[in-house]
Amino acid sequence: MTRQLLAETCLGQPEAVEDFPFGDHVSVFKVGGKMFALLPMRSDHLSLTIKCDPERAESLRQKYSSVRASNFHKKHWNRVFLDGSIPLSEIQEWIEDSYDLVVDNLPKALKLRLQGEVKGLS
């Protein structure tokens, strides 16, 4: 698993953009101006911070030792340390879930347009 693959997964979501509001040390992936993932540019240990439903966030933390509450916002965000213990397909699913959570809270017109793009991909 590489940083590049994770960034490509994030940017593969409809209308996702990469931004650097916290400086050039961390990529922030957004849709509709709202964050759905954070990915450090360089790190000794690759990690990804993603938005998550609070109940699911806690469940994932209990299931995987490499998933921890994020310092960013413990209730809604998980930091996933990518040490090979979690299959890439699951992490990609979590990125998509994070994106979907953000899209669900966007203004109605933008939300409907983005959901139409996602459905159009099926």
Summarised one tens digit per residue, pLDDT across range 26-70 is: 999 999 999 999 999 987 789 999 999 999 999 999 999 999 998
CATH architecture of 3-121: Alpha-Beta Complex (3.90)
85 vs 74 pLDDT, higher one: 85
Torsion-angle region of 17 (φ positive above 0: left; ψ -120 to 50: alpha; else: beta): beta
Euclidean distance between CA atoms 103 and 31, whole angstroms: 7
**pLDDT of res. 119:** 54
pLDDT band at residue 14 using 50, 70 and 90 as cut-offs: very high
Rounded to whole angstroms, the Cα distance separating 117 from 36 reads: 17
Percent composition of the chain: helix, strand, coil (DSSP 3-state, to 5): 40, 25, 35
Q: Whole-prediction pTM value? A: 0.89
Which structure tokens are listed for 67? 């998933």
